């Protein structure tokens, strides 16, 4: 499955504007193969969330087209029961703002909502829900309503509710934001395991160290909402000029005694430079 | 820790094919209706906040516009003839055109409300049963006039000239007041209106209530829309009508609670940034020549309409 060549998702010249006025994406072309793992990076407001929502079939391109398994995803095609079922079952989306995502009375209902729809039987559904809660350490929140949780807890519940459906494609919008370091590093391990298991993983993030850890392919969105580069993690992360241009890192001028030197700041580069500094 | 990952997650996903289910989705009317309403409200808000386009009225100081609105609504209520009302309507229409507003969008609402609250409500008074006068359009003839209690039902029932005049007047007044209000609303961002009201000595507590209501309605419609999106991302099959109804019913209370919490957070954020129960705004920009000129022009036109 991992080496299937036909593309799973394809975006052709996709553009999107909010309220017909605020530009969010312009002329984006992207292909995703089964088993790929792609990080969409870009500064705040560059259109990462919008792109992921289009790939999740929640918004439809204003111009351009989006295909899933060769079928165009549109308001019309998603009204077809067979395609809807296939698409929603295969594609899971974790919202950036988990507050938005949670809509069931309690955490347990939330996690069980997806599996129950899949008609895999209530027993199996509950088993999945418990396993996922155990994995993310949220069993004790089981009976709480979602609006009585902290930000990080909400994020975990949101991730759990999507994982319980076991989708083939996972779209994660800023997955590590607002999580404590331990959960963050667990999440990275989980993502690596899912990639290993052949899942297609697409994340939107501006955390370059996450990109580095996952070693995924990277698609860079510029501040004027265009895809300016698609490449391997190491190629993109070492392209300082590009990262500076799209405002993902910034130059900082320090004064060290007499000498003034320029220093480029970013998670990734900072991480890399540490051993050199010590020397 | 990887061993804690449940096996079902690492298993290949359930294969799916388009042929699993057949037919077209029916989207439950209730859910769709509520979402449509919410997005109309949000769209309206967006339009409103965008109202800083460069038409004629958009450039005018909000204080001038609010006074203009009050003055003209007064004139509209004082006028007793259809013709002057028509002149005022033409005047407002020209202002709307100058401000480059979408005539279709505004008049769709104005005419709908004018029809509901002007025409339909006033219609019964067109009959000679209610307003006495010359019958111009007879509708029914009774064998003899009836009298009971204080009512007198004449033998010939029909629409009277005075009645028509009354209905036309009320409809015109409603239409004029609405076109005036929409003209102001669509050319002035909400915060400008609140500021202008503050300058015009409207009590602060009242302004806080309006501001929070405005925020609340916005958050409410946004929460509804978000929830619709979130549900859509996890809807795999068609819900039965019962399931759909239960969902909507169960969620209404939830939405209100969630929105209230959010609104409280917004209020806390306002307090956190030094908000007390008096509203302070940075000063209005100075009235420019254009503002004074327009104010004088509008005032003189108002006087003119008063005396024709
Ligand atoms: N609901 C919305 N209404 C209006 N504009 C929006 C909305 N959501 C996002 N935008 C705008 O669209 C652009 C892209 O946003 P988004 O996709 O959220 O960026 P990112 O996730 O990369 O931060 C931004 O300029 C943002 O201001
Ligand atoms: Mg985002």
Interface ipTM > 0.95: no
Q: Under an 8 A CB cutoff, do A105 and B1 touch? A: no
Residue A177 C-alpha to ligand 2 middle, in angstroms? 11
Provide φ and ψ at A198, rounded to 5°.
95, 10
Instruction: Tell me which residues have their CB closer than 6 angstroms to ligand 1.
Output: A 18, 22, 24, 42, 44-50
B248 Cβ contact list (under 8 Å, min separation 6): B28, B30, B31, B34
Q: Kindly state whether residues A166 and A266 are assigned to the same domain.
A: no
Domain that holds residue A149: 9-248
Residue whose token pair is 């009836």: B146
Interchain CB distance below 8 Å, B20 and A161: no
In this structure, are A260 and A270 located in the same domain?
Answer: yes
Q: Tokens standing for B81?
A: 């003839």
Q: Say if residues A34 and A200 touch (Cβ distance below 8 Å).
A: yes
Minimum CA distance residue for ligand 1 atom 25: A45
Q: Whose CA is nearest to atom 26 of ligand 1?
A: A45
Specify if A59 maps to a domain: yes
Name chain A contacts of B4, Cβ cutoff 8 Å. Answer: 134-135
CA distances, B282 to each of A78, B204, B285, B286 (Å): 50, 15, 9, 12
Q: Do B16 and A105 touch (CB under 8 A)?
A: no
Strand partners, A41: A205, A220
Domain membership flag for residue A4: no
Distance from the B25 Cα atom to the nearest Cα atom in chain A, whole angstroms: 5
For the whole model, what pTM was predicted? Answer: 0.76
- How far does the CA of residue A84 sit from the closest CA of chain B (Å)? 6
The predicted pLDDT at position B1 comes to: 46
Burial (CB < 10 A; 0-12, 13-18, 19+), residue A33, is middle
Residues 25-44 (B) with a CB less than 8 A from some CB of A: 25, 27, 43
Q: Is B151 helix (H, G, I), strand (E, B) or coil?
A: strand
Query: pLDDT tens digit string along A11-36?
Result: 999 999 987 778 999 999 999 999 89
Maximum pairwise Cα distance, chain B: 96
Size of interface A-B (CB pairs under 8 A): 132
Residue A6 has pLDDT above 90, yes or no: no
- Domains of chain A: total: 2
User: Which residues have a beta carbon within 5 Å of ligand 2, which is an ion?
Assistant: A 48-49, 96
Residues A118 and A163 in one domain: yes
**pLDDT per position as a tens digit, B13-47:** 766 666 666 677 666 666 666 677 777 777 767 66
Residuewise pLDDT in 10s, chain B (308 residues): 444 788 888 887 766 666 666 677 666 666 666 677 777 777 767 666 666 567 788 888 888 888 899 999 999 988 888 888 999 999 999 988 888 877 887 888 888 888 888 888 888 888 877 777 777 777 777 777 777 776 777 777 788 888 888 888 889 999 999 999 888 888 888 878 888 888 888 888 888 888 888 878 888 888 888 888 888 888 777 777 777 777 777 777 777 888 888 778 777 777 777 666 666 666 667 778 888 888 899 899 988 888 87
Q: What is the pLDDT, as a whole number, of residue A254?
A: 46
Closest ligand 1 atom, CA of A46? 22
Q: Report if residue A144 sits inside a domain.
A: yes
Confidence of residue A271 (pLDDT cuts 50, 70, 90): very low
Distance from CA of A190 to the nearest CA of B (A): 7
Give percent of chain A above pLDDT 90.
40
Top mean pLDDT of A45-59, A82-96, A256-270 is at A45-59
Contacts 24+ apart (CB under 8 A), B242-245: B244/B28, B244/B30, B244/B31, B245/B28, B245/B30
| B60 and B298 Cβ atoms separated by less than 8 Å | no
pLDDT at B114 (0 to 100): 86
Burial of A16 by CB count in 10 Å (0-12 exposed, 13-18 middle, 19+ buried)?
A: buried
How many residues would you count in chain B? 308
Q: Which residues make beta-bridge pairs with B127?
A: B159
Q: Is A219 part of a structural domain of the chain?
A: yes
Through-space distance between the first and last CA atoms of chain A, rounded to whole angstroms:
46
Distance A52 CA to ligand 2 centre (A): 9
DSSP symbol at B155: S
C-alpha span between A2 and A120 (Å, rounded): 25
User: What local confidence, expressed as pLDDT, does residue A73 receive?
Assistant: 92
| DSSP character at residue B240 | P
Flag if A100 and B25 touch (Cβ within 8 Å).
no
Residue nearest to atom 7 of ligand 1 (CA): A18
A190 and A272, same domain (yes or no): no
Do A244 and A263 sit in the same domain of this protein?
no
Out of B5, B17, B251, whose CB is closest to A135? B5
Question: Do A83 and A208 lie in a common domain?
Answer: yes
The answer to whether B17 faces chain A, any CB pair under 8 Å, is yes
Residue A270 token pair = 């900072």
Residue A51 sits in the same domain as residue A156: yes
Is-contact A246 A225, C-beta < 8 A? Answer: no
Q: Do A270 and A132 share a domain, yes or no?
A: no
**Nearest C-alpha in A relative to B21:** A82
Closest Cα to atom 3 of ligand 1: A18
Average pLDDT value over all residues in chain A: 84
Is there a single domain that holds both residue A208 and residue A256?
A: no
Which of residues 105 through 134 in chain A touch B, CB cutoff 8 A?
105, 113-114, 117-120, 128, 131-132, 134
Sort out which chain B residues have CB atoms less than 8 A from A194's CB and list them.
9-10
Residue of B233, B249, B258 for testing the chain A interface, max A β-carbons within 10 Å = B233
Of the listed ranges A152-166, A215-229, B247-261, the one predicted with least confidence: B247-261
Asked whether residue A101 is assigned to any structural domain, the reply reads yes
Q: How far apart are CA A164 and CA A157, in angstroms?
A: 10
Q: Both A265 and A238 in a single domain? A: no
pLDDT at position A3: 42
Residue A169 lies in a domain: yes
Q: Give the integer Cα–Cα distance in Å for A55 and A28.
A: 12
Which string of DSSP letters, residue by residue, matches chain A? Answer: -TT--SEEEEEEEEEEEETTTEEEEEEEEEEEETT-EEEEE-STTSSHHHHHHHHTTSS--SEEEEEETTEEP-TTGGGBHHHHHHHHHHEEEE-SSHHHH--SSSHHHHHHHHHHHTTS-HHHHHHHHHHHHHHHT-GGGTTS-GGGS-HHHHHHHHHHHHHTT--SEEEEESTTTT--HHHHHHHHHHHHHHHHTT-EEEEEES-HHHHHHHT-EEEEEPTTS-EEEEEEHHHHHT-HHHHHHTTSSEEEEEEETTEEEEEEE-HHHHHHHHHHHH-
DSSP B120: I
A2 lies in some domain: no
Domain check: are A176 and A254 in the same one? Answer: no
> Residue A72 pairs with which residues in a beta bridge?
A67
Q: Is A29 among the domain residues?
A: yes
Residues A191 and A234 placed together within one structural domain of the fold: yes
* Closest Cα in chain B, distance from residue A262 (Å): 36
**Residue A89 near chain B (CB below 8 Å):** yes
pLDDT tens-digit map of A171-207: 999 998 888 888 888 889 889 988 988 899 999 998 8
- Please say if the pLDDT value at position A110 is more than 50: yes
**Which tokens sit at B118?**
């002007």
Which residue from B35, B4, B13, B179 is spatially nearest to B96, judged by alpha carbons?
B179
* Three-state SS sequence of B55-112: CCHHHCCHHHHHHHHHHHHHHHHHCCCHHHHHHHHHHHHHHHHHCCCCHHHHHHHHHH
Rounded Cα gap, residues A257 and B307, in angstroms:
81
Q: B204: which residues sit within 8 A by CB, 6+ positions away?
A: B198, B277, B278, B279
Residue B306 DSSP SS3: helix
Q: Which ligand 1 atom is the nearest neighbour of the CA of A43?
A: 22
The Å distance, Cα A96 to ligand 2 centre, comes to 6
What is the nearest CA distance from B168 to chain A, expressed in angstroms?
38
- Find tokens 């929105």 and name the residue: B259
pLDDT of residue A131: 92
Specify the CATH number for the domain of residue A194. 3.40.50.300
């Amino acid at each position: 499955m991992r080496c299937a060549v036909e593309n799973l998702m394809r975006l052709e010249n996709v553009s999107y504007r909010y309220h017909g006025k605020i530009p969010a994406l312009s002329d984006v072309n992207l292909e995703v193969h089964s088993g790929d793992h792609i990080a969409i990076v870009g500064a705040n407001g560059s259109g990462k969330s919008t792109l992921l929502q289009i790939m999740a079939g929640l918004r439809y391109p204003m111009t351009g087209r989006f295909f899933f398994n060769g079928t165009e995803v549109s308001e019309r095609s998603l009204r077809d029961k067979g395609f809807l079922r296939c698409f929603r079952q295969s594609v899971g989306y974790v919202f950036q703002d988990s507050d938005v995502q949670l809509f069931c009375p309690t955490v347990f209902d939330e996690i069980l909502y997806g599996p129950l729809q899949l008609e895999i039987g209530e027993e199996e559904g509950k088993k999945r829900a418990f396993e996922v809660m155990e994995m993310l350490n949220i069993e004790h929140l089981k009976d709480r309503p979602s609006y009585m949780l902290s930000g990080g807890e909400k994020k975990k519940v949101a991730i759990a509710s999507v994982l319980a459906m076991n989708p083939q494609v996972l779209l994660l919008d800023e997955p590590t934001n607002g999580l404590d370091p331990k959960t963050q590093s667990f999440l990275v391990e989980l993502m690596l395991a899912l990639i290993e298991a052949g899942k297609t993983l697409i994340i939107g993030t501006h955390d370059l160290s996450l990109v580095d850890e996952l070693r995924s392919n990277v698609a860079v969105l510029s501040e004027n909402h265009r895809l300016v580069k698609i490449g391997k993690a190491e190629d993109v992360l070492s392209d300082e000029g590009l990262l500076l241009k799209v405002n993902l890192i910034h130059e900082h001028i320090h004064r060290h005694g007499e000498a003034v030197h320029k220093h480029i700041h970013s998670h990734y580069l900072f991480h890399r430079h540490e051993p050199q500094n010590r020397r | 820790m990887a061993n804690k990952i449940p096996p079902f997650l690492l298993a290949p996903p359930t294969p799916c094919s388009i042929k699993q289910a057949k037919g077209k989705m029916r989207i439950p009317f209730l859910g769709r209706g509520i979402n449509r309403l919410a997005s109309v409200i949000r769209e309206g808000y967006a339009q409103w906040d965008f109202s800083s386009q460069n038409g004629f009225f958009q450039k005018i100081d909000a204080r001038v516009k609010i006074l203009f609105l009050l003055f003209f609504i007064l004139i509209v209520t004082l006028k007793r003839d259809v013709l002057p009302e028509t002149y005022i309507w033409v005047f407002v229409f020209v202002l709307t055109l100058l401000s480059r507003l979408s005539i279709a969008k505004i008049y769709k609402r104005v005419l709908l409300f004018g029809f509901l609250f002007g025409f339909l409500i006033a219609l019964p008074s067109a009959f000679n049963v209610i307003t006495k006068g010359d019958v111009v359009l007879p509708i029914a003839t009774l064998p003899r006039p009836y009298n009971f209690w204080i009512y007198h039902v004449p033998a010939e029932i029909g629409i009277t000239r005075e009645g028509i005049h009354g209905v036309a007047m009320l409809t015109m007044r409603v239409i004029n007041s609405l076109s005036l209000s929409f003209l102001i609303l669509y050319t002035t961002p909400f915060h400008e209106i609140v500021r202008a009201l503050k300058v015009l000595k409207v009590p602060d507590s009242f302004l806080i209530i309006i501001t929070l209501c405005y925020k609340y309605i916005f958050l409410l419609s946004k929460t509804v829309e978000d929830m619709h999106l979130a549900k859509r991302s996890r809807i795999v099959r068609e819900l039965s009508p019962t399931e759909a109804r239960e969902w909507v019913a169960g969620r209404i209370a939830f939405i209100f609670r969630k929105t209230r919490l959010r609104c409280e957070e917004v209020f806390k954020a306002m307090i956190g940034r030094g908000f007390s129960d008096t509203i302070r705004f940075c000063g209005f920009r100075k009235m420019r020549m254009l503002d004074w000129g327009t104010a004088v022009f509008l005032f003189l036109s108002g006087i003119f309409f008063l005396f024709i």
